[in-house]
């Protein structure tokens, strides 16, 4: 019988080598268990009611239904499942689309194994993990805007993330607790989401005027 303290993780990744490495990593932890893995969103969605994962590791560039569309469909039916994107893509649009679809966090595949496991822990605690690459992208995105919606503290947290620092290191450097760091990162994601929607609406308005 499965230990109730073990978190059930499902993997959707079309690269077999990467998928198997994720499976091995997750099953090497005492806190997580990979209960299923698939190479398409279609297969994952079909078996979701039987697999009942708590967290899904989702690639974006998948054959058939894209990871972003998969996130959207899964969250519509199973809103309580946390979906963590792990992708080679770190372009602004991909990140925005994944967050708007309902992703709980966004990591790039060059993340080291320990940080990936730590990110799963952060998701369980209500956090919103982002890799160093994504933090740098978010900084660039908000710098483009003449008026950043981020507070000074959120900007500091983001800059620390972009330097590759952990939640604990950030908390120590800024003399705050880890829960506050976690809260700031969630706020950054929410503002990034709102910012991207506002930009899309602005572009659509301009297109109608042309």
48 Cβ contact list (under 8 Å, min separation 6): 10, 74, 77, 78
- Of 96, 129, 162, which one is at a domain's C-terminal end? 129
Mean pLDDT of 47-62: 95
User: Could you tell me what percent of the chain has a pLDDT over 70?
Assistant: 88
pLDDT interval class at 49 (50, 70, 90): very high
With 60 as the cut, is the pLDDT of residue 192 above it? yes
Same domain? For 136 and 118 the reply is: no
- Asked whether the beta carbons of 44 and 10 are under 8 A apart, the reply is yes
Least confident of 2-6, 106-110, 118-122: 2-6
Interatomic CA distance for residues 157 and 201, integer angstroms: 28
- Asked whether the beta carbons of 170 and 118 are under 8 A apart, the reply is no
Q: What is the CATH number of the domain that holds 4?
A: 3.40.50.2300
Same domain? For 45 and 142 the reply is: no
User: Could you tell me what percent of the chain has a pLDDT over 90?
Assistant: 52
Same domain? For 208 and 180 the reply is: yes
Same domain? For 151 and 204 the reply is: yes
- Of 98, 129, 160, which one is at a domain's C-terminal end? 129
Same domain? For 69 and 8 the reply is: yes
With 60 as the cut, is the pLDDT of residue 200 above it? no
Return the higher-pLDDT residue of 146 and 9.
9
Same domain? For 149 and 93 the reply is: no
Least confident of 45-54, 157-166, 198-207: 198-207
**Could you list the residue range(s) of the whole structural domain that residue 6 is in?**
1-129
Least confident of 40-49, 53-62, 141-150: 141-150
83 Cβ contact list (under 8 Å, min separation 6): 55, 56, 58, 71, 74, 75, 102, 103, 104
Mean pLDDT of 48-52: 96
Mean pLDDT of 140-157: 79
Mean pLDDT of 123-140: 85
Same domain? For 40 and 59 the reply is: yes
Query: Strand order of the sheet with strand 105-108?
Result: 32-38, 7-12, 55-58, 82-87, 105-108
pLDDT interval class at 33 (50, 70, 90): very high
Global pTM exceeds 0.85: no
- Of 129, 159, 179, which one is at a domain's C-terminal end? 129
Mean pLDDT of 71-84: 94
Same domain? For 90 and 140 the reply is: no
Same domain? For 100 and 120 the reply is: yes
| pLDDT tens per residue, range 101-111 | 889 899 988 88
pLDDT interval class at 144 (50, 70, 90): low
* Predicted pLDDT at 45: 96
With 50 as the cut, is the pLDDT of residue 207 above it? no
* Predicted pLDDT at 75: 94
Q: What is the CATH number of the domain that holds 169?
A: 1.10.10.10
Same domain? For 135 and 123 the reply is: no
Number of domains in the chain: 2
What is the overall mean pLDDT for the chain?
86
Same domain? For 164 and 178 the reply is: yes
Same domain? For 22 and 107 the reply is: yes
């Amino acid at each position: 019988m499965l230990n109730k303290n073990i978190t059930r993780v499902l993997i959707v990744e079309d690269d077999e080598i990467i998928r198997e490495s994720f499976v091995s990593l997750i099953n090497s932890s005492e806190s997580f268990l990979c209960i299923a893995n698939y190479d398409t969103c279609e297969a994952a969605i079909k078996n979701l009611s039987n697999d009942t994962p708590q967290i899904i590791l989702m690639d974006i560039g998948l054959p058939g239904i894209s990871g972003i569309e998969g996130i959207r469909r899964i969250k519509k039916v199973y809103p309580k499942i946390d979906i963590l994107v792990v992708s080679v893509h770190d372009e602004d649009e991909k990140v925005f689309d994944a967050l708007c679809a309902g992703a709980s966090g966004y990591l790039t595949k060059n993340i080291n194994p320990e940080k990936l496991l730590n990110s799963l822990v952060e998701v369980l605690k209500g956090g919103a993990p982002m890799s160093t690459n994504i933090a740098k992208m978010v900084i660039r995105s908000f710098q483009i805007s003449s008026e950043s919606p981020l507070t000074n503290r959120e900007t500091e947290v983001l800059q620390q993330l972009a330097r590759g620092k952990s939640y604990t290191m950030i908390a120590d450097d800024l003399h705050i607790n880890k829960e506050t760091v976690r809260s700031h990162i969630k706020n950054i994601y929410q503002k990034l989401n709102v910012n991207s929607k506002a930009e899309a609406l602005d572009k659509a308005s301009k297109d109608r005027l042309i």
